[in-house]
Amino acid sequence: MKWVAKDRWWMLITMTDFRELEVKDGETLYTTRSAPFTPLRIGELHGLLSVLAEPESWQIKKVRHTNQGGVTADCLELRPHSNEGWSSDRQVCINPATTEVLSDRIKDDREFRTKEFADYQPFGSHRYPRQLKLLESSGVVLRAQVVSLQEASFEDSVFAPPAGAIARRFCEHMVHPVAIKQPEPRYPKSASENRLGGTVVVALTVQLDGSVNNVQFLERAGHEMDEVTQEIVKTWKFRPAMCGNEPVVADISVEMNFRMD
């Protein structure tokens, strides 16, 4: 990662045969990748490396004190500024002596996801953690270790749009898409009869008019459950993402749970 400011950076991620290059220049994010979508864990890695994402979208509901790794932490219980389209609870714990983020936990419809940060190192006028973890109910699912932080200067050409890149606008205080027509998929008969369940995660693009296209699987549950999920999300309708009064195209992910009562 080559970083100048929060709106000017370059990041290359490679994992086995997958390669993704992102360049942020002002309000535009340019992306090229070797697959039609970003794998689920790679997307989670993005969120982990950002440490504290979109804090301005939340407001403090309550503050409590707890012990985390021998440190007395201030844990902030947060809620979204607008409850519309949200069903998550969030808790961010901070070391009050250093203002370093120790953990960031979000509860969604399925489980808790917790990001943990440790071993902060001075870097310029900031401090950055060298140990980062993502935990789910099953335990640690992603672990990252920063091996090098170096101050450097970069030529303007580094931040030129890559050839063939997908361009997306991301503005400050961007309003994300909100579903306004969201029918649930039918439970496939054969899956129900055999008491099969699972979770399907798809990536999709919300267009300027709120319609959906480019549906791609990030996590599969089984042929029929995958099929009905893909078909139903194509019928969903959204209020599009907004930059001020202007709608913008946005890529999001959707999780569909199939559970027997």
126 and 184 in a single domain? The answer is no
Residue 159 confidence (pLDDT): 94
Output the average pLDDT for the chain.
87
**How many other C-beta atoms are found inside a 10 Å radius of the C-beta of residue 202?**
23
- What digits encode the pLDDT tens for the residues 31-62? 999 988 888 888 888 889 888 766 566 778 88
> How far apart, in whole angstroms, are the C-alpha atoms of residue 155 and residue 248?
29
Contact (CB, 8 A) for 48 and 144: yes
Residue 261 confidence (pLDDT): 63
Q: Has residue 156 been placed in a domain?
A: no
* pLDDT over 80 at 83, yes or no: no
Residue 88 confidence (pLDDT): 60
Residues 6+ positions from 223 with CB-CB distance below 8 Å: none
13's tokens: 């991620």
16 and 71 in a single domain? The answer is yes
115's tokens: 């990001």
Residue 56 confidence (pLDDT): 60
104 and 26 in a single domain? The answer is yes
% of the chain surpassing 70 pLDDT: 93
Q: Has residue 153 been placed in a domain?
A: no
132 and 251 in a single domain? The answer is no
Q: Report the number of distinct structural domains present in the chain.
A: 2
Mean pLDDT across 103-112: 78
Dihedral sign for Cα 70, 71, 74, 79, please. negative
Could you give the angle at the alpha carbon of 222 between the alpha carbons of 112 and 180, nearest 5°? 60
Residues 6+ positions from 213 with CB-CB distance below 8 Å: 204, 205, 207, 234
104 and 209 in a single domain? The answer is no
Q: How far is CA 109 from the centre of its chain?
A: 15
**How many other C-beta atoms are found inside a 10 Å radius of the C-beta of residue 32?**
16
> How far apart, in whole angstroms, are the C-alpha atoms of residue 146 and residue 128?
9
128 and 21 in a single domain? The answer is yes
SS3 157: helix
| Across 136-150, 190-204, 224-238, least confident range | 190-204
Q: Has residue 155 been placed in a domain?
A: no
> How far apart, in whole angstroms, are the C-alpha atoms of residue 153 and residue 143?
29
The domain boundary residue, chosen from 132, 167, 202: 167
Mean pLDDT across 201-225: 91
Query: Containing domain of residue 21, as a range?
Result: 2-148+161-167
Q: Has residue 57 been placed in a domain?
A: yes
**Residue indicated by tokens 């027997």:** 260
Mean pLDDT across 114-124: 91
Residue 109 confidence (pLDDT): 59
42 and 143 in a single domain? The answer is yes
Mean pLDDT across 62-69: 83
Residue 112 confidence (pLDDT): 82
Q: What CATH number corresponds to the domain at position 227?
A: 3.30.2420.10
Could you give the angle at the alpha carbon of 244 between the alpha carbons of 243 and 246, nearest 5°? 65
Q: Has residue 82 been placed in a domain?
A: yes
Which helix or strand (DSSP H or E) is residue 228 part of? helix 223-233
- What digits encode the pLDDT tens for the residues 149-200? 998 999 999 999 999 999 999 988 888 899 999 898 888 888 777 777 888 9
120 and 35 in a single domain? The answer is yes
Q: Has residue 247 been placed in a domain?
A: yes
> How far apart, in whole angstroms, are the C-alpha atoms of residue 127 and residue 175?
29
Residue 84 confidence (pLDDT): 47
166's tokens: 């997908």
Q: Has residue 154 been placed in a domain?
A: no
132 and 24 in a single domain? The answer is yes
Q: What CATH number corresponds to the domain at position 21?
A: 2.50.20.10
192 and 117 in a single domain? The answer is no
The domain boundary residue, chosen from 106, 135, 167: 167
> How far apart, in whole angstroms, are the C-alpha atoms of residue 135 and residue 137?
7
143 and 186 in a single domain? The answer is no
